[in-house]
Structure 1
Amino acid sequence: MSILQAGETKSDDGTDPLIFKELANNMPILCWMADASGYINWYNNRWHEYCGTTPVEMEGWGWQSVHDPAKLPDVMEAWTASIASGEAFSMTFPLRSASGTYQPFLTRITPHRNENGQIIRWFGINIDVSEQEETAKRLKEQSYALERVLAERQAILDQLGEGVIITGAGGEIVYMNEKAQILHGQKQLGVSPDEYSSTFQLLTLDREPFPVEQLPLTRAVRENITTADSEWIIHRGDGSEILAKGNAKPVYDEKGKKIAAVLTIRDVTQTRANERALKEALDAKDMLLYEVNHRVKNSLQLVNSLLSLQAGQGSDELRRNLEDARARIGVVARLHGQLYLSSMHDRIEAGAFLESLVSDTVEALKPSDSVTSHTECDDDVMLLLDQEIPLAIVVNELVTNALKYAFDDQADGTVSLAVRKSDDGKIEIEVRDDGGGLPDGFDPAVSLGLGMRVSYALVQQLRGELTFSASDQGTVFTIMFEAAPMREAV
């Protein structure tokens, strides 16, 4: 085969055909030439190197043997149509290599005409595009993977209960999830920091336009500052408003370069409304409890006055009994009075209350000016009212008895109170006097006196134990019980 048609000695432009042949054979792409009928009569060396063929094997229509049988019908149809129409065409199809593998080639075929416009030959080139197609395939796979990741992240962000707004490094909004759109009543992308407040109608808690430079997202963008739990008002297009609470922070890449900023928002309108309603309810409850304690105290004082009137008209024994009852009622009234003055309505600091109770009782009932009181109380021994009332009555009974009987044979003395709390939660109350002790054979536990019976009964109510010891150095009563667990303060 020759690259010239029969009878030709020069190319149409006078170029030496040998130079053309040498040039074509050294091209890195596959080249070939056919006559006007499409009969291929020449291939360059690169074709035979790639396909592992000889000129004789490829002459004419032998090229079909290196085509993928699945694609060959399409190639034949396109090539035949081009010959019939005289139009150039291009197509990508696989060619078999010398090793038997197929690689994709971009093939371009153009006609060459003489001065009369007649096609005298066809030129074809085949360019290996396997790397390009592999790259395109990888890019497509990566693009698909990226789209899938973005879709998954989009779905996750849209399912969040919080609104999410993302900006670029310069602050322009590039993303708003579905919740953020609902909270603002609109979706606006491309908004710059200077337009945040005006675009989304952001107000301070004082209902003034929110200064742009103080917005959490602006500070994250411009000052690289992370803010948390900021609050502002969003005035939406339909006239409704929500109280928003949000966090903003800048986002950096692995090299420390800021690439974005993120704002998360949640609607706390109902939360704040619930908090206000709860506070109003607690305030109302406090007022009610103040009033209850005040009225209980007044009612007990009224009962005390009635008992006092009744005691003045009865026998000596009745008068003593009524005075004892008045003293017990007075302790309860005193407790409610203390609760009325405090901020707590169901508990009291035991040490301070009992110290005051003992001091006042000694001052009121001491048989001489030389009898005094002494207290040692641990701080912050809190007791619920259910325990403090019976405890106070018992302490009052023990102190009153000491003042009545302990100092008959001496002019001076001391009534002492100690309040202690152990690490395991047990409370120890000690009432001590340095008087003459108990009469021989006297056992308070089996005493027929109403005061001691009341005391033992009330200590049992505390699920505690009342013990005593007596000598000529005085008498000691000890109350041991466990403090009830504190309920939430009311």
Structure 2
Amino acid sequence: MLSSLESFKSVVLDQLGEGVIVADTDGRIISVNRAAEEIHGRSLIGGAPESYSDDYQLLTMNDAPHPPEELPLARAVLRGEDVVDAAWKIRRPDGTVVIAVGTARPVRNSEGVQIGSVLTLRDETSRVNAEQALLQALEMKELLLFEVNHRVRNSLQIVASLVALPMKRIDDDIARETLSLTRQRIEVITATHRSLYELGTHDHVDCAALLPDLCTAVVQTYSVNDHIQLKCETAGAIVLPVSKAVSVCLAVTELVTNACKYAFAGRDRGTIRVLLESDGDIVRIEVEDDGVGMPDRDPRAKQGGIGTILVDSLTQSVGARVMVDTGAEGTKYVITFTRPPAEHDFSSALIAKRRKAAS
């Protein structure tokens, strides 16, 4: 009857997909199932903890000979430890290498006395190799995307230079102004792509870090003797996908450009204030000047120039709502839009990273 029961247990163990290795109190292997021997590619009966590594060609994950006393089964036998999901490598007799992940525990009787140890293990080679291949593919993708962004930036710089070449030879003020604005818009897009390197991504831009410099460049272009003062206020990182960031940056610089050109006509000085902040998923942008205001109290009802049309188009592309208030004390644009939760999480993670780096 006992022999029949042992045979039944052996048959049951051989049906398991995971390998099972049982050792006595001295660490000698007294029982293994079929899966364990298939993983090792050899018979496993016998052997002692101090010779596990040599007998069964066991390696660390760095391909060094595994210290025998640190193997999961040896730790359970010698120190009574529970070892969960340890990883090591097995070199089979045919030279192939298997990545094993296993759990070892001491076996105790009803009185708590250790009477042996058991190791269960599985072949994780395919999974680990697939993960490594995926990581390598992702790294290659990142490198390629960075290279694409680098080339886009360089191409935009060339286009901006080509646009600037004929400007000095053109006598028509309107044509020269049009080329100047075109070049400025190209430079905004170029700066957005350049900031990808600073953030360390290929597809997201921190608008809060980028916009102050862009707005400053615009004001310096139009401000004679520093008669226009710029105040930029940002609250934390506001990270957006590059396509959305380009639209936002272009829209804001267009509004700052319009303020520089028209808001302070007949005045010696003026102030432009740009605010960029977020409240959870809601992003709020304000562009305000203390200039003469617009003659039409509802400027959006009046089809303006290319700049106004461009602002409308850009804000619509990000699903933004635009409110305009203009009067004798100046003009104020308020742009609001909602970010998906993932974009908000990206910003929060960047803020936390910067705080950690600063501490």
TM-score over 0.5 for the pair: yes
Counterpart AA for 1:463: G
Q: 8 Å contact 1:367–1:403 — kept in the other structure?
A: no
- Contact 1:163–1:176 (8 Å) recurs in 2: yes
Provide the secondary structure at the position in 2 that maps to 1:169. coil
**Rounded Cα–Cα distance in structure 1 between residues aligned with 2:57 and 2:165:** 73
Structure 2: gaps (5+ residues): 347-359
Query: Alpha carbons of 1:461 and 1:215: their partners in 2 closer, same or farther (altered >3 Å)?
Result: same
**Cα separation, partners in 2 of 1:441 and 1:381, compared to 1, 3 Å:** closer
Over 3 Å counting, the alpha-carbon distance change for 1:436 and 1:209 in structure 2 is same
Question: Which residue identity lines up with residue 196 of structure 2 in the other structure?
Answer: L
| Structure 1 residues 343-398: Cα deviation after superposition (integer angstroms, max 9, x where no partner) | 21111122212233223333443344253333332323221122111111101101
C-alpha change, 1:208 and 1:347, in structure 2 (3 Å) is: closer
Query: What residue number does 2:353 align with?
Result: none
Stretch moving more, 325-334 or 372-381: 372-381
> Is 1:198 aligned to residue 41 of structure 2?
no
What's the CA shift for 1:306?
1.8
Q: Is 1:356 matched up with 2:213?
A: yes
- Alpha-carbon spacing, 1:167–1:414, altered in 2? closer, same or farther (3 Å): farther
Within 5 Å, which residues of 2 pair with 1:327-406?
327-369=184-226, 371-406=228-263
**For the structure 1 residues 183 and 436, does the alpha-carbon distance in structure 2 shift closer, same or farther, using more than 3 Å as the test?**
same
Helix, strand or coil at the partner of 1:312: helix
Question: Who is 2:273 aligned against?
Answer: 416
1:296 aligns with 2:148: no
Alignment-derived partner of residue 228 in structure 1: 84
In the alignment, which residue of structure 1 is the partner of 2:19? Answer: 163
Higher relative contact order (CA 8 A, sep 6+): 2
Question: Residues 471 and 173 (structure 1 numbering): CA distance in 2 closer, same or farther, change over 3 Å?
Answer: same
SS at 1:421 equivalent: strand
- Cα deviation for residue 485 of structure 1 reads 5.9
Q: Which amino acid aligns with 2:42?
A: Q
Normalised TM-score (structure 1)? 0.64
CA contact (8 A) 2:101 2:121 kept: yes
Match for 1:407 among 264, 288, 305? 264
Task: Indicate if the aligned counterparts of 2:53 and 2:68 stay in contact, CA closer than 8 A.
Answer: yes
Q: What residue identity is the alignment partner of 2:37?
A: Q
| Compared CA separation, residues 379 and 159, structure 1 to 2 (3 A) | farther
Contact 2:88 2:101 (8 Å CA) reproduced = yes
Range with greater deviation from structure 2 (447-456 or 200-209):
200-209
Percent sequence identity over matched residues?
A: 36
- Cα deviation for residue 339 of structure 1 reads 1.8
**Mapped pair 1:278 → 2:134:** yes
Which one has a larger percent helix, Structure 1 or Structure 2?
2
The match for 1:435 is 291
Aligned to 2:94, the other structure's residue is in SS state coil
User: Would you say the 8 A contact 1:384–1:486 is kept in 2?
Assistant: no
Contact 1:162 1:179 in 2 (8 A): yes
Distance in structure 2 (CA, Å) of the matches to 1:370 and 1:255: 90
Letter in 2 for 1:274: A
Cα offset, 1:185, TM superposition: 0.9
Residue correspondences, number: 344
Instruction: Identify unmatched segments of 5+ residues in structure 1.
Output: 1-139
Query: Which residue, out of 256, 259, 278, partners 2:112?
Result: 256
- Give the TM-score normalised by structure 2: 0.85
